[in-house]
C-alpha cells in the first residue's frame, strides 16, 4: 500500500488531500482513471483476489503431513501437540478429500481420540458427531463416541453407539474388541445404581430485562444527534440491546476467538469448510457465518441392514446436523470472502468490514448492485472533510482495492467508477467514526477459583484478575447514535455479538445518554483524551469532563509539592496550558470570593468534585493564577525537569518488575529495587498520581507471586485508594481492583473479604445487571464461597 501511495501523481494527491465530501465523485473518478492504466495496481488486486493464486485455500498434502505428525505425537503420548496438529490438518483439509474414507471425518475422529485422552469429554463427543454427520457409516467414530459416553456415565447411549459400531465393523477382531468393551460397560452399569453423569453449570439462562422506557433521538448544539430516554431511568437500567449490522474479528484474535460469535475457541474448534482463515466455536457459528455448506455424503444404505427401529431412529438423530437450522432471514457475512483468497486476511479490519456492509446491503436488495443510496445504508456521520490528507488518500485507494476484490470474489458485477468508489469512501469513513470495538472480559487465574487457598501451594499466591480483551469491530446502527462523554452515564458491554447498554447512575428523562468512546476522566488527562478523540473520531470533545476543571485531570499526572508537609498540586506546562484553555471561558471574572462570581465560575469548574477532596490540596482561587512548577496551595516552586528525570529512572525499575511478573521470575532483588523506586515516586509525584497506583498494583501482583500475601494486600489497597480519587468509589475500575483484593483476602482468611465481595458485587450489578454472573466466572466462585466467608466474619465478631 505504501508503494502504491508513493506512485500516485502529486497533483492527484493534492486534489484528494484538499477534497470535501462533495468533491468525492470527481477525485475518485480521477483516481480510477489513473489506476485503470496502472499495471502494478491490477497485479496487486490479482494477488489479493484471484482464486487461482489464493494462499488461504485448502491443501490436501499439507493436511496429510499434519495428520502424520499428529499420529506420531499421539503414539508418543504428546497429546497437546497432537491436538494442535490434528486441528491444523482440519483447517487445511478439503471437504472432498479421501483416503480410505473422507479425510475430514478421519481427522475429527483422530482429534476426538486426543480429546478423550485429555479428559475433554464433551469436546470429544462433539467431534465424533461431526465425523458422523460427514460419514454416518464410520465404525471408528461410533466406537469412539461410545467410549466418550461411557466416560461420562451415559451408559444407555454407550450401548447403542457400540451396537452400531459392531454392525459396521468389518473385521472379526474389531467386532470381538467391541463385544469385550460392551461387557465391561454393562458390568459397570449394573454395579452403579446412580450413574455419574458429568454436569455442567449453565449460566446462559439469564432473565430477560424489560427496557423501562423508550428512547428518542435528540440534538444538541455541541454534539449534534444523540439519544435520550423518554422517562426517568434508575441506576443499572438496561436501556438498549442490539445485534450488529455487520462485524469482523480483529486480527490478533483470529486463532483464539470464534470468528462469528467472538467467544473464546474451545479445544474442538471448527474450521471453515472452504478457506483456511476462519475458525468457529461450533458448527452453528460456522454455518451462520459462511452459509449452509453441502457436500455429497457416501452411500449409507448398508448401515440400515439388520437394525432395530430404535437404532435406526438413534442413528438419524445423531447424524442429523441440528446446527444447520438457521434463520432464513440471516445473511452469511463471510460467504463472499470464503474462496481461499487472502484479501480478507491482508486488508485492514475496517476495510473488510466495509466489504461485509456493502455485500449485505446488496443481498438485502436482492442482488442489485446499484449503490446510488449507499451513503444512506447506515445513516451515520462520517466527518470526511476533517480527515487528514494522508488518510484521505488511503481511503481512496482502499475503496478502489475493495471494489476490485469484491468484483473478483463474487458472482455479481460491481460498477467501478468515480461515483461508486466515492460511496465506498463515505462508507469506510462512517465505519471509522461509528464502529464499536467489541470487548470480552477475561478472568485470569480462573483455574484457582475452586480453592484460592491452594494458590500458595502452587509456588506463591495468585490473584484473580479481570482483563478486557479487544476481539472485534462492529457496526451497531442504533448503538452508534449514543454520544460520547469522558464522564459517561451509561455503560456498554457485550455478550457474544450482542451489545447491551445500561445506566450507571440515575438519568432524568430527556437528559442525553452518553457512553465513553475510549478514555475516561481518571484514566487519561484532558489533553490526551481530546487528542485521542480528534485523531480517532474527528471531533473535539465538548463533554463536561473536558470543558470543566476537575480534580482528576489536575492530579492524574501531577507532582508533589517540595514542602513535604504540603499536600498541594504541582502541574506540568502541558496540563497548565490545557486547564488555562478551560478558564478562558470565564470572561471578566475576578476571583474576589464574591458569591455571584462563584456561581458563574461553577458553570466551568466542577466545584462539587474539587470541594470534595481538594480543599486540602489547593485554593480554588489559585486556579486562575496557575503556572507550571508552582504549588497550587503554597506557591512553592518545584524543578520539574530534574523531578521528571528522577521519576523516569524509578519507573524503569517498575517496568522491570512488570517484565519479571510476565516471565514469572520475580526475584528478591527486583522486589527490593521496586520498593525503593516506589519511595522515589511517592516523594516526587502527587499522592493521587496514577503512576503511583500502577506501581502499587505491580507490587501487589509481585508479592502475590512470591507468596507474601499480607504485603500484596497492603499494596492492592493503596492502589485502590488512589483510583477511588481519580474515578469514584463505585466506578467499574474499582470493581476490577476489588476482584484482586478479595481473592487475596480469601487466601489470607481475612473476614474483610466479605465486605470487598459485597462491594464488588454491587458495582458489577450496577454496570452489568444480571449478566454479571455470565460475564465473570469469578462471580460463580463468590456465590459458592458466600456462606463460608460470612461464617468467617461471624466467628471473628
| CATH number for the domain that contains residue 73 | 1.25.40.10
565 shares a domain with 533: no
What number of other Cβ atoms are within 10 A of residue 438's Cβ?
Answer: 27
653 shares a domain with 787: yes
**Could you give the CA distance from residue 15 to residue 18 in angstroms, rounded to a whole number?**
5
Q: Are strands 246-249 and 498-503 parallel, antiparallel or unpaired?
A: unpaired
- For residues 347-354, give the mean pLDDT: 94
Q: Is residue 328 exposed (0-12), middle (13-18) or buried (19+ Cβ within 10 Å)?
A: exposed
791 shares a domain with 747: yes
Q: Identify whether the C-beta of residue 436 lies closer than 8 Å to the C-beta of residue 43.
A: no
**Could you give the CA distance from residue 226 to residue 542 in angstroms, rounded to a whole number?**
13
646 shares a domain with 789: yes
221 shares a domain with 355: no
Q: Which domain holds residue 77?
A: 60-189
Q: Is the pLDDT of residue 622 over 80?
A: no
490-540 pLDDT tens trace: 999 999 999 999 999 999 999 999 999 888 888 888 989 988 888 888 888
Residues written for the chain? 797
626 shares a domain with 505: no
> 229 forms bridges with which residues in the sheet?
215
270-290 pLDDT tens trace: 999 888 999 999 999 998 888
- For residues 169-186, give the mean pLDDT: 87
Would you state the pLDDT for residue 579?
A: 84
627 shares a domain with 735: no
Helix (H/G/I), strand (E/B), else coil: 87: helix
| DSSP per-residue codes, 654-719 | HHHHHHHHHTT---HHHHHHHHHHHHHHHHHB-TT-HHHHHHHHHHHHHHHHTT-HHHHHHHHHHH
744-784 pLDDT tens trace: 998 888 889 889 988 988 999 899 988 887 777 666 665 55
Q: What is the mean pLDDT of the chain?
A: 83
Would you state the pLDDT for residue 204?
A: 40
Would you state the pLDDT for residue 26?
A: 95
| Pairs from 665-672 (Cβ < 8 Å, separation ≥ 24) | 666/702, 666/705, 666/706, 668/706, 670/702, 671/699, 671/702, 671/703, 671/706
Q: What percent of the chain has pLDDT over 90?
A: 49
Q: Identify whether the C-beta of residue 537 lies closer than 8 Å to the C-beta of residue 383.
A: yes
739 shares a domain with 633: no
**Could you give the CA distance from residue 17 to residue 31 in angstroms, rounded to a whole number?**
12
Would you state the pLDDT for residue 796?
A: 53
Q: Identify whether the C-beta of residue 760 lies closer than 8 Å to the C-beta of residue 739.
A: yes
Whole-structure pTM value: 0.87
User: Is residue 530 in some structural domain?
Assistant: yes
User: Is residue 576 in some structural domain?
Assistant: yes
User: Is residue 752 in some structural domain?
Assistant: yes
Q: Identify whether the C-beta of residue 647 lies closer than 8 Å to the C-beta of residue 685.
A: yes
User: Is residue 556 in some structural domain?
Assistant: yes
Confidence at 786, pLDDT banded by 50, 70, 90: low
Confidence at 461, pLDDT banded by 50, 70, 90: very low
228-232, 338-342, 384-388: range with lowest mean pLDDT: 338-342
**Could you give the CA distance from residue 257 to residue 17 in angstroms, rounded to a whole number?**
38
User: Is residue 302 in some structural domain?
Assistant: no
What number of other Cβ atoms are within 10 A of residue 788's Cβ?
Answer: 11
**Could you give the CA distance from residue 312 to residue 304 in angstroms, rounded to a whole number?**
7
51-84 pLDDT tens trace: 777 778 899 999 999 999 999 999 999 999 999 9
**DSSP state, 453?**
G
Cell of 366: 436482492
68-72, 148-152, 565-569, 587-591: range with lowest mean pLDDT: 587-591
Would you state the pLDDT for residue 209?
A: 65
**Could you give the CA distance from residue 781 to residue 792 in angstroms, rounded to a whole number?**
16
User: Is residue 673 in some structural domain?
Assistant: yes
**Could you give the CA distance from residue 512 to residue 533 in angstroms, rounded to a whole number?**
19
**DSSP state, 414?**
P
Domain boundary at 404, 435, 466, which?
A: 435
CATH number at residue 506: 2.170.270.10
φ and ψ of 78, to 5 deg: -90, 75
776 shares a domain with 653: yes
User: Is residue 471 in some structural domain?
Assistant: no
User: Is residue 448 in some structural domain?
Assistant: no
Give me the number of domains the chain comprises: 5
Q: Is the pLDDT of residue 122 over 90?
A: yes
181 shares a domain with 228: no
**DSSP state, 524?**
B
Angle, helices 418-434 vs 24-36, to 10°: value is 120
743 shares a domain with 704: yes
127 shares a domain with 2: no
Amino acid at each position: 500500500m505504501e508503494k502504491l501511495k508513493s506512485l500516485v501523481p502529486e497533483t492527484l494527491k493534492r486534489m484528494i488531500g484538499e477534497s470535501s465530501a462533495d468533491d468525492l465523485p470527481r477525485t475518485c473518478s480521477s483516481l480510477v482513471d489513473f489506476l485503470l492504466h496502472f499495471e502494478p495496481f491490477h497485479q496487486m488486486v490479482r494477488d489479493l483476489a484471484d482464486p487461482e493464486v489464493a494462499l488461504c485455500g485448502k491443501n490436501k498434502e499439507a493436511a496429510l503431513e499434519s495428520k502424520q505428525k499428529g499420529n506420531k505425537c499421539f503414539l508418543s503420548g504428546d497429546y497437546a501437540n497432537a491436538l494442535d496438529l490434528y486441528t491444523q490438518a482440519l483447517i487445511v483439509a478439503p471437504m472432498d478429500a479421501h483416503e480410505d474414507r473422507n479425510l475430514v471425518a478421519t481427522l475429527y475422529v483422530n482429534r476426538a481420540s486426543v480429546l478423550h485422552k485429555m479428559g475433554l469429554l464433551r469436546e470429544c463427543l462433539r467431534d465424533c458427531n461431526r465425523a458422523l454427520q460427514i460419514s454416518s457409516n464410520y465404525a471408528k467414530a461410533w466406537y469412539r463416541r461410545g467410549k466418550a459416553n461411557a466416560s461420562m456415565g451415559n451408559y444407555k447411549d454407550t450401548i447403542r453407539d457400540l451396537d452400531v459400531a459392531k454392525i459396521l465393523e468389518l473385521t472379526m477382531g474389531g467386532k470381538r474388541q467391541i463385544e469385550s468393551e460392551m461387557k465391561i460397560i454393562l458390568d459397570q452399569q449394573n454395579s452403579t445404581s446412580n450413574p455419574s453423569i458429568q454436569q455442567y453449570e449453565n449460566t446462559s439462562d439469564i432473565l430477560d430485562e424489560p427496557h423501562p422506557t423508550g428512547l428518542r433521538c435528540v440534538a444538541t448544539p455541541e454534539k449534534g444527534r444523540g439519544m435520550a430516554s423518554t422517562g426517568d431511568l434508575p441506576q443499572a437500567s438496561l436501556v438498549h440491546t442490539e445485534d450488529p449490522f455487520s462485524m469482523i474479528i480483529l486480527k490478533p484474535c483470529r486463532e483464539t476467538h470464534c470468528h462469528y460469535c467472538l467467544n473464546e475457541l474451545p479445544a474442538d474448534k471448527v474450521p471453515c469448510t472452504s478457506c483456511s482463515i476462519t475458525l468457529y466455536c461450533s458448527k452453528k457459528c460456522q454455518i451462520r457465518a459462511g452459509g449452509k455448506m453441502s457436500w455429497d455424503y457416501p452411500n449409507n444404505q448398508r448401515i440400515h441392514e439388520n437394525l432395530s427401529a430404535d437404532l435406526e431412529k438413534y442413528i438419524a438423530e445423531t447424524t442429523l446436523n441440528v446446527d444447520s437450522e438457521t434463520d432464513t432471514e440471516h445473511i452469511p457475512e463471510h460467504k463472499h470472502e470464503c474462496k481461499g483468497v487472502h484479501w480478507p486476511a491482508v486488508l485492514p479490519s475496517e476495510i473488510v468490514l466495509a466489504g461485509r456492509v456493502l455485500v449485505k446491503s446488496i443481498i438485502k436488495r436482492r442482488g442489485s448492485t446499484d449503490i446510488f443510496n449507499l451513503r444512506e445504508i447506515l445513516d451515520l456521520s462520517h466527518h470526511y472533510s476533517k480527515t487528514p490528507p494522508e488518510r484521505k488518500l488511503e481511503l481512496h485507494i482502499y475503496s478502489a482495492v475493495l471494489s476490485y476484490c469484491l468484483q473478483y470474489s463474487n458472482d455479481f458485477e460491481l460498477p467501478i467508477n468515480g461515483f461508486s468508489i466515492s460511496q465506498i469512501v463515505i462508507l469506510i469513513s462512517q465505519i471509522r467514526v461509528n464502529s464499536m470495538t467489541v470487548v470480552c472480559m477475561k478472568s485470569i487465574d480462573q483455574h484457582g477459583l475452586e480453592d484460592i487457598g491452594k494458590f500458595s501451594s502452587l509456588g506463591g499466591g495468585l490473584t484473580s484478575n479481570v482483563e478486557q480483551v479487544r476481539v472485534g469491530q462492529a457496526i451497531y446502527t442504533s448503538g452508534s447514535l449514543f454520544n460520547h462523554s469522558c464522564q459517561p452515564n451509561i455503560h456498554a458491554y457485550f455478550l457474544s455479538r450482542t451489545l447491551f447498554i445500561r445506566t450507571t447512575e440515575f438519568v432524568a428523562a430527556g437528559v442525553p445518554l452518553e457512553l465513553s468512546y475510549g478514555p475516561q476522566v481518571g484514566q487519561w488527562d484532558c489533553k490526551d483524551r481530546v487528542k485521542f478523540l480528534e485523531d480517532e473520531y474527528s471531533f473535539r470533545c465538548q463533554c463536561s469532563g473536558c470543558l470543566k476543571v476537575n480534580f482528576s485531570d489536575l492530579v492524574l499526572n501531577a507532582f508533589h509539592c517540595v514542602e513535604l508537609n504540603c499536600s498541594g498540586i504541582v502541574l506540568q506546562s502541558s496540563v497548565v496550558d490545557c486547564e488555562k484553555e478551560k478558564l478562558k471561558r470565564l470572561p471578566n471574572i475576578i476571583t474576589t470570593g464574591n458569591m455571584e462570581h462563584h456561581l458563574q465560575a461553577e458553570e466551568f469548574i466542577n466545584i462539587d468534585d474539587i470541594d470534595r477532596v481538594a480543599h486540602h490540596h489547593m485554593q480554588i482561587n489559585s486556579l486562575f493564577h496557575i503556572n507550571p512548577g508552582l504549588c497550587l496551595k503554597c506557591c512553592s516552586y518545584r524543578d520539574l525537569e530534574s523531578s521528571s528525570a528522577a521519576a523516569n529512572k524509578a519507573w524503569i525499575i517498575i517496568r522491570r518488575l512488570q517484565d519479571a511478573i510476565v516471565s514469572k521470575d520475580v526475584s528478591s532483588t527486583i522486589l527490593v529495587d521496586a520498593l525503593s523506586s516506589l519511595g522515589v515516586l511517592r516523594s516526587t509525584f502527587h499522592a493521587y498520581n496514577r503512576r503511583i497506583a500502577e506501581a502499587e498494583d505491580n507490587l501487589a501482583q509481585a508479592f502475590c507471586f512470591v507468596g507474601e500475601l499480607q504485603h500484596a494486600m497492603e499494596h492492592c489497597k493503596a492502589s485502590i485508594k488512589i483510583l477511588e480519587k481519580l474515578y469514584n468509589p463505585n466506578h467499574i475500575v474499582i470493581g476490577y481492583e476489588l476482584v484482586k483484593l478479595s481473592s487475596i483476602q480469601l487466601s489470607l482468611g481475612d473476614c474483610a473479604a466479605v465486605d470487598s465481595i459485597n462491594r464488588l458485587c454491587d458495582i458489577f450489578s450496577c454496570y452489568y445487571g444480571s449478566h454479571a454472573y455470565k460475564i465473570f466466572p469469578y462471580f460463580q466462585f463468590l456465590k459458592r464461597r458466600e456462606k463460608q466467608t460470612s461464617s468467617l466474619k461471624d466467628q471473628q465478631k
